[in-house]
Amino acid sequence: APQVAGIVALMLKMNPALSPAEVKYILEVTATDVTASPASAGYDDYTGFGLVNAEKAVTMAMKQALPADWNGDGNVETLDAVLYLTDYTNADAMTDLNLDTAQTADDMAIFLYSYAGE
């Protein structure tokens, strides 16, 4: 779909280092599920992963480029750590910084390493 190609172009503009697998993963985890039943949330044969969510996909692509700038304002500050920890606690898929499809201590380590300026 042309809309998805445009969104991928925006993602790559924000983070040219994304691999094709990372782009695919980001599109999948940021999609808006359109199934009626929460019990059937996730991938299905009729709607795939759901509707592509441009804002979430581009935001996640940016966070892959500079993980510690969680609010995307160009600065790494205490607020970024608070926001990341809040999202991490709420099991937000965007906190999966190593893109291994699981929220683990490794993701927290990536954020903290980036936050420290490493």
Residue 42: its pLDDT value, please? 73
> What pLDDT shows up at residue 5?
96
| Residue at a domain's end among 64, 90, 109 | 64
Of the candidates 19, 33, 103, 107, the one whose C-alpha atom is nearest the C-alpha of residue 61 is: 19
Query: Do the Cβ atoms of 97 and 26 come closer than 8 Å?
Result: no
Contact in structure between 8 and 23 (CB atoms under 8 Å): yes
pLDDT of residue 39: 63
Which residue range forms the structural domain that includes residue 19? 1-64
Structural domains of the chain, count: 2
- Please state, in angstroms and rounded to a whole number, the distance separating the CA atoms of residues 78 and 65: 19
Whether residues 22 and 76 share a domain: the answer is: no
| CB-count burial class (<10 Å; 0-12, 13-18, 19+) for 27 | buried
State if pTM tops 0.85. Answer: no
Which residue matches tokens 């983070």?
15
Per-residue pLDDT, 91: 84
Give rounded-to-5 percent helix, strand, coil for the chain.
55, 5, 40
Q: Give mean pLDDT in consecutive 10-residue pieces for the chain, a chain of 118 residues.
A: 93 88 87 75 78 90 76 82 89 81 83 73
pLDDT of res. 68 = 79
For residues 9 and 19, membership in a common domain is answered with: yes
Same structural domain, 2 and 56: yes
Last residue of a domain, one of 47, 64, 81: 64
Instruction: Indicate if 53 and 15 belong to the same structural domain.
Output: yes
